[in-house]
Structure 1
Amino acid sequence: MSVDHGTGTDRDEATLGRIETEVALLMRLGEATRRATGTAEHRVLDRAAYVILRHLDSAGPQNVSALAAKLNLDGSTVTRQVSAMQRDGLIARTPDPADGRGTVISPTPAGLNRMAAVRAARTRLYGDILTDWTSDDRDTLADLLHRLNQALESRKRSR
């Protein structure tokens, strides 16, 4: 499959405009759906804590600088979020084995349990929302969203 990076044809511009609109709506509706969902499972973690715990669960312990870089956030923002998460017992700080002066952050069992509860609730929610979609359509959506996220991540790294 060839990739047309476009020369700015009217069709290309219209398609890119549709993509921009749909992504904007996806972000707005996703957040509105999360806030409006009646189950407490969705509210046991705020969005920032959920994203941090998901990343730490998959990537392993990290220092604040690495975490901030990965999440494309300012270090002071991550430090505040991590401090709040530590107060709530969601993460633990331990000495950095590579640099004894620093610390690394890792999820606690309580943090992982709360993250798993939110993830399960979100998975059920999307199962309900996409109940009328075929398995192939769900797979295609997952693949395309993954490709979009990879492209966004690559763009972030190249800047």
Structure 2
Amino acid sequence: MFLIIMFAFSGTAEARLEWGDVPPDSLGVDKDKREVKISDYRGKVVVLTFWATWCGYCLKELPVLENVQRKLGPDRVAVVAINTDTDQDKYRAMRRKMKDFQLTMTVDRGNPDVSAAYGVSGLPHMLMIDKQGKVAFTHIGYSDEMLPRIVDEINELLEE
């Protein structure tokens, strides 16, 4: 089963990023309130995922991406999970449950609005950024059937 959970935006999302686009630099703030930037990971494959605590498919995807981070190592791949929740208490509670995760978690606090800058209109929303800092692949939604393709795409980017 494949599902995309759509956001209810009051406005419209900006144009979705496509292959070859240079993504916006800001990825939100981490638990220490430091801004995380995509430029911090230049030379690595970067896997970004936008998620929320209420998104069941997001919560299935995050452990898979955590496994990618652990298996491939932070010197080769950086996984950044960008939370879009408006209820920060729910985010903090979920973060405590994921305290042993090695992937980087950030919060889209809406200033600037990271989700809008990346054209996110549904969750989960994944982008893979190549070692040169350009968008290589995007996926909206999640299913277990997508995993072989995601693994192939990450391996392709690692080989470049």
TM-score range, shorter chain: under 0.3
TM-score for both structures, normalised by structure 1: 0.27
> Where is the strand percentage greater, Structure 1 or Structure 2?
2
TM-score for both structures, normalised by structure 2: 0.27
Structure with more contact order per residue of length (Cα contacts < 8 Å, sep ≥ 6): 2
